[in-house]
A and B are shown apart, each in its own frame.
Chain A
Amino acid sequence: MEDFTNESSKNYKLSFHGSGSSYFGVIIVNWLLIVVTLGLYYPWAKAKQLHYLYGSTALNEERFSFHGTGKEMFKGFIKAVIIFAAIYGLLLLFMYLQMPIIGILVFYACILAIIPFAIHGSYRYRMSRTSWRGIRFGYRGDQKELSISFFKWTFFTIISFGLYSSWLSINLRNYLIGNIRLGSLQFKSDGDGGSYFWLNVKGYFLTLFTLGIYMFWWQKDIFAYYIDNLSVHQDDKEIRMTSTATGGDFFGLLVVNMLIIIFTLGIGYAWVVTRTMDFIVSKIELTGDIDLDTINQTEANFTDATGEDVSDVLDLGFIN
């Protein structure tokens, strides 16, 4: 007999349940506490924000959860501060020794060197602190492998005067996503730098020729490229993702977002975030044959948030 028992768990739908007004509350309370504590509250504030956003996102009406705590992030924050103080200390030392050029080179080399560590740490931390139906996400990338690849790609990007950056970003994405697990589910990204490069060349020139109007369609293409190459696997079964967003959709999203920001002088930021989350989630279609009831817990806990906080200082933006 075939297994027909759980057809409902083979239909998939993402949804977002947050509202601008409740997220506004989270942001404003955070702001108040950050001001009152002269900034020390920052790690807790960030944890609350992630709690809200993850907890408002659902797959088949089942919410994701973020379990990270302000305390964990605070410890990471302190370590991040020490790391940066050491790097700046080194710079000042070289300045003092009258070797400013060497100092600046060492400084940038250090910053470049910690980027892969920060990415790795950040992914490990965030994934292990996120769950769905009680099953933890996990990131299984290898620190050394990622660093070597990252430096190689960065080197190619530099000697190609930036042309290689499309490959850099897609290769990095493939590596990071390919190492994400949700219990026994395995994520995969099959992008390729070449097609991403041509997509951007086309987007750039058409945007130029249409005096910026094509920008929304370019955005749509990038989004679709990311999403359409995403899939989830379990044994021989899979779930594929498809973007249903159109350029017109992006036009509506971005123009209204901009108007909200302008007319509220930035206070309406909460609504911009919830609108955008709602948009992204509703424009991703999932199809496949994995039975979501068969996912097992496989990933370990990891509570060191240093990478997360270093990324924060460097202002690295990842897919959350």
Chain B
Amino acid sequence: MVTTGTYYDGISSIPQKVALILDEDNYLLSFNSSSGNTDQWGIGDISFNHIGNYLEIQFGHAPIEFIKIEDGDFITALKKLRKEKGHYNWYERLIDLGIKAHATIALLILGFISLIYLFVIPLVAENAVVLIPESYDNNLGNTFFNEYIEYNAVDSSKTKALNLFAKQLKLNNSKELKFTVIKSSTVNAFALPDGNIVIFTGLIDLMEDKNELVGLIGHEVTHVNQRHSMKMMCRNLSGYLFLSAVLSDVNGIMAIIGDNVHTLQSLTYSRQFERQADMEGIEIMVSNKVNPKGMSKLFERLQTQDDHLLPEFLSSHPITEERINYIKQIVKENANKELENDKLKDLFLQIKTNIN
């Protein structure tokens, strides 16, 4: 087979048109250079560079001689011959698959990345939390608490009563819990990883029964017991690192899209944790012989608040119909005999009472 190629000797910039002969039997490419000599290149020693439907072949090192070929039939014949000789490498095969196969590969990789991101990373990250010493949780929570307290007014008598109230309960806690009541009309409560639990008077004013308070405590204590803050941090960080690592290899734009997907995803994480806190909170109520209905009551009260101002701690995980429904379901399954507990009742009254 014969075609015309453009030959460069690697010394001058002058193009030379050459008649290029493909010698299939001897696996050679031969051509006549301007000096009149016949050059022969062993095809196995040539390096091939396909760019679309254009081929550039290089031979030698110093100088690098090369020939450019644009004849499609010749390129195909050369390809076929190299395939027969086993010189067609895996990279060229992958590139030759065509756009449909490439698009499929892209989707498969994306699917694979999603699977790892959704199932493997959170699992690994949560289990890795065991490796982080509890002292880290304590430092983190403590630092935050001290700064927070500085700018907020503590109700000391209610705080004292609340701590006594909590002492009456079995809370399955592994670390010491410390309760604080903050004077604020905000309907809010939160738990810090070091066992500090903060409740606002705005939320206490809303409650009408001690069972509701036990429900709230059960919920917040579960966040501490399960190290939810730390798990959240590990999940978020590892998910973020994973996505940006695999996507920025493709391009910066996909990395940005990945970031946004991740932000949405972390909201789902926090919903999962809220659900777990609801469930175990109810278990705590049951084990303390308190009517678990208090939990659903509390959430119904909070739901009516939604219209006015969305409480901070609910904004990322609002009280939806769905949440109320599954809580009611679990409450029904766990209905137990309520044991009257005068001490709790008493303390609850103290917590509710406003001294000034």
Contact = CB atoms under 8 A, between A and B. Distances in A.
Contact of B12 (A25, A42, A266, A295): A295
A167 B95 CA distance: 44
Nearest to A22: B52
A35 B113 CA distance: 9
B9 A18 contact: no
Given A25-B99, A65-B66, A134-B66, A55 B15 contact: no
A39 B245 CA distance: 9
A176 to B, nearest CB: 23
B246 A267 contact: no
Contacts of B257: 265-266
A25 B253 CA distance: 18
Interface in A22-56: 22, 24-29, 31-32, 34-35, 39, 42, 45, 48, 51-52, 55-56
B63 interface: yes
Nearest to A53: B51
Given A25-B102, A39-B249, A52-B51, A297 B11 contact: yes
Nearest to B99: A21
B56 A65 contact: yes
Interface string B8-52: 111111110000000000000000000000000000000001011
B254 A266 contact: yes
B119 to A, nearest CB: 17
Contacts of A51: 49, 51
B270 to A, nearest CB: 25
Most buried by B among A29, A55, A132: A29
A27 B12 contact: no
Contact of B62 (A28, A35, A266, A301): A301
Contact of A297 (B12, B52, B56, B109): B12
B254 A265 contact: yes
Main secondary structure of the interface of B (DSSP, over half): mixed
A42 B99 contact: no
A195 interface: no
A56 B253 contact: no
A266 B250 contact: yes
B105 interface: yes
Contacts of A18: 51-52
Contacts of A35: 109, 112-113, 246, 249
B323 interface: no
B49 A29 contact: no
Nearest to A52: B51
Nearest to A65: B56
A63 B58 CA distance: 14
Contact of B49 (A26, A27, A34, A55): A55
Contacts of A294: 13
A287 interface: no
B195 to A, nearest CB: 29
A295 B13 contact: yes
A143 interface: no
Interface residues of B, number: 42
Contacts, number: 116
Interface in B85-108: 91, 94-95, 97-99, 102-103, 105-106
Given A22-B52, A133-B8, A183 B250 contact: no
A131 B11 CA distance: 11
A131 B251 CA distance: 27
A297 B95 contact: no
Contacts of B275: none
Contacts of A24: 99, 102-103
A24 B101 CA distance: 11
B65 interface: yes
Nearest to A293: B14
Contact of B105 (A32, A295, A301): A32
A28 B102 contact: yes
Contacts of A135: 12-13
A316 B103 CA distance: 30
A62 B9 CA distance: 15
Contacts of A164: none
Contact of B13 (A29, A56, A67, A183): A183
A134 B8 contact: yes
Contact of A31 (B9, B10, B58, B109): B109
A222 interface: no
A31 B106 contact: yes
Contacts of A295: 12-13
A133 B64 CA distance: 11
B68 interface: yes
Contacts of A133: 8, 13-15
B13 A134 contact: yes
Contacts of A55: 49, 51, 54, 56
Interface in B219-260: 245-246, 249-251, 253-254, 257
Contacts of A296: 11-13
A199 interface: no
A269 B250 contact: yes
Nearest to A66: B49
Given A29-B95, A297-B63, A132 B49 contact: no
Nearest to A19: B52
Contacts of B99: 21, 24-25
B91 to A, nearest CB: 7
A293 B103 CA distance: 43
Interface string A100-127: 0000000000000000000000000000
Given A62-B15, A133-B13, A297-B11, 20 more contacts: A24-B99, A25-B102, A26-B95, A28-B109, A31-B109, A31-B249, A35-B246, A63-B51, A63-B68, A134-B10, A135-B13, A183-B13, A266-B251, A266-B253, A266-B254, A269-B250, A269-B251, A292-B13, A293-B12, A296-B13
- Return the 6 tightest CB-CB contacts between A and B, nearest first: A134-B8, A266-B254, A55-B51, A295-B13, A133-B13, A28-B102
5 contacts: A25-B102, A31-B250, A35-B109, A55-B51, A65-B49
Interface of A: 17-19, 21-22, 24-29, 31-32, 34-35, 39, 42, 45, 48, 51-52, 55-56, 62-63, 65, 67, 131-135, 183, 261, 265-267, 269, 292-297, 301
